[in-house]
Amino acid sequence: MSKDKNQTPSVAELMLDSQRTKPAFITNPNMDQVVDVVLRLAMEISVLRDRMDIYEKLSEENGFGGTEKIEAFTADESLQTKQSERREKLVQRILHDLSS
């Protein structure tokens, strides 16, 4: 958990806390796993959106074309492999959450 007691813990810290209180509406253990998966995906999407905003802003500020070039971009084999491996790791983490 966070070191500063006055600081609100992040969602990730809360999810990793084995002593956390489960929401009252979750009575089925399988539903708890589904909620874990949904929250993991929401965190991933939030991070990706933040990063995309930054990249698009930097691209526009530095004359690289911004959103238009991003939309028209085609990944090379190396990048496609990296993206595929990242997706696989995400799926594995989700499956782990569902099977724990």
Calpha distance 32→38 (Å, rounded): 10
Q: Given this model, what pLDDT does residue 82 score?
A: 94
Cα→Cα distances 87→28, 47, 71, 81, 94, Å: 28, 15, 20, 10, 11
Q: Given this model, what pLDDT does residue 27 score?
A: 65
Task: Kindly report whether the global pTM for this prediction surpasses the value 0.75.
Answer: no
Calpha distance 64→86 (Å, rounded): 26
Calpha distance 47→35 (Å, rounded): 18
Number of domains in the chain: 1
Inside any domain, residue 91: yes
Using the predicted structure, report yes or no on whether residue 54 has a pLDDT greater than 70. Answer: yes
Question: What pLDDT, in 10s, does the model give residues 32-53?
Answer: 778 888 888 898 899 999 998 9
| Domain extent at residue 50 | 29-99
Inside any domain, residue 12: no
Q: Given this model, what pLDDT does residue 1 score?
A: 44
What pLDDT band is residue 2 in, cutting at 50, 70 and 90?
very low
